[in-house]
Amino acid sequence: EPEVTQTPSHQVTQMGQEVILRCVPISNHLYFYWYRQILGQKVEFLVSFYNNEISEKSEIFDDQFSVERPDGSNFTLKIRSTKLEDSAMYFCASERYPGGGNEQFFGPGTRLTVL
C-alpha cells in the first residue's frame, strides 16, 4: 500500500543552523501539508501547498520557514535558522482530492532536536 515517507527520522542540529526536512508524498497526491507536534502537545498545522504554491499558513510559519516541491516527488520544509523552540516532531501529509471528508495520509514524522 502506498505511504508517505519522511527523512530523516531524527535530526539533531545546533541553534541557528538551517535544516531541511524531506517528505515523499504518495505519488498521485496533489495536496501537501506540514504539521508539527511539540512533545506532549497537540499536533498543529503549519502550511498547506498545492500547485507549487502555499495555500494557507499558520502564524507559526514565519519567515524562517519555507516549503518547496523541488522535483515533482519530494516535498521539503526548510527552517532557515533553528531556534530551541523548533524542537518538535514534524509530520508531512498528503491527499489526492480536495474535500473535508478525504483522508490526509500522514508520514511517520521527523523528530527535530535543536541544541
Partner 1 sequence: AQTVTQSQPEMSVQEAETVTLSCTYDTSESDYYLFWYKQPPSRQMILVIRQEAYKQQNATENRFSVNFQKAAKSFSLKISDSQLGDAAMYFCAYRRGGTSYDKVIFGPGTSLSVIP
**Interface with partner 1 by CB under 8 A: which residues?**
31, 33, 35, 41-45, 48, 50, 55-56, 58, 89, 91, 93, 95, 98-101, 103-104, 106-109, 111
- Of 26 and 43, which CB lies nearer to partner 1 in the complex structure? 43
- Of 20 and 60, which CB lies nearer to partner 1 in the complex structure? 60
Read off φ and ψ for residue 36, nearest 5 degrees: -135, 155
The strand pairing partners of 77, in sequence order, are 21, 67
CB of 23 to partner 1, least distance (A): 13
Element (H, E) at 47: strand 43-50
**Mapping DSSP to helix (H, G, I), strand (E, B) and coil, where does residue 60 land?**
coil
CB of 27 to partner 1, least distance (A): 18
Q: Which residue has the cell 515533482?
A: 72
